[in-house]
A = this chain, B = another copy of it.
Amino acid sequence: MYNPQLNKHGELQHLLTTEGLPKAHIYSILDTAESFVSIGNREVKKVPLMRGKSVFNLFFENSTRTRTTFEIASKRLSADVINLNIAASSTSKGESLLDTIDNLAAMHADMFVVRHAQSGAPYLIAKHLHDTGQHHVHIVNAGDGRHAHPTQGLLDMYTIRHYKKDFTQLRVAIIGDILHSRVARSDIHALTTLGVPEVRVIGPLTLLPNGLEHMGVRLFTDINEGLKDVDVIITLRLQHERMNGGLLPSAQEFFQSYGLTLERLALAKSDAIVMHPGPMNRGVEIDSTVADGTQAVILPQVTFGIAVRMAVMSILAGN
């Protein structure tokens, strides 16, 4: 099967999704990231691995936080970064997405970090670069629609490995709006590939997609059952726009039923870790006592996230 992420030598050409990403590639990214974690604490937080490379942050959908993490990762790799807020730019002048891409590629771009509201947009770009023989440009999917957010998935794997070492003995629970979450999707694919024996999703039926059981995922609408004896809890951000969408009653009611409180956390294993992709809605999907508690590893996730993005970018640039 043609895999748009890999080149003909089986190396990573783009990072588009964690779905079907071979275990060896995931481990290679996590191991490379480990060497970058320590850089953050050095006096000079830079390595020259991407000196003179041009990285374009192509954000068709605004996301200051994600853009910032890629901008920092690029600068610590010594790359030149150009931020393009495309929503306000050429596309509004009627130029097609692929004409914009061709133009930037013609400027000798080395990497596009793409964020797009449309699922599949980074694939479309990857296919176009492939079909037109522009193999010098690498794509990192920084979130496309509801589909995938692979660097978030990988930094979550880094965090789990950091605290739990062995994936093959774990129970992992993901709580919240699974249906609309690219983070959940990217996490589930990576967890499955890495051999986690039990992945659970917890949420109201309206926010649990069909077909997850085929992926070996267990569904829970009762959070108390779902959290029982888990090692890892991933809470998801409840998007504000969903709250008005009729799929769930209100933020307060969501918290009543699915907010992670200390009482509920006590149902998990005593050394369970609590994760969140940020930005958090305190009092909606997570209680402040949990977010600021000893089991939360939410800020380490951020730190590891820079290292994981440096790893992905430097590996792609080297291939």
- A residues neighboring B (CB under 8 Å): 40-46, 51-54, 62, 64-65, 68-69, 71-72, 75-76, 80, 82, 84-86, 88-90, 93-96, 99-100, 102-108, 240, 278-282, 299-300, 302-303, 305-306
Contact = CB atoms under 8 A, between A and B. Distances in A.
Contacts of A53: 45
A46 B52 contact: yes
A103 B282 contact: no
A300 B64 contact: no
B68 A107 contact: yes
A303 B68 contact: no
What number of copies of this chain does the assembly contain? Answer: 3
B240 A107 contact: no
Given A65-B89, A94-B281, 5 more contacts: A40-B107, A68-B107, A99-B279, A102-B299, A106-B300
Given A54-B45, A102-B299, A64 B90 contact: yes
Nearest to A91: B279
A115 B108 CA distance: 24
Instruction: Please provide the 9 A-B residue pairs with the shortest distance between their CB atoms, ordered closest to farther.
Output: A44-B52, A95-B279, A64-B89, A40-B108, A106-B302, A75-B80, A46-B52, A106-B299, A45-B52
Given A52-B44, A53-B45, A240 B278 contact: no
Nearest to A62: B88
Contact of A103 (B240, B281, B299): B299
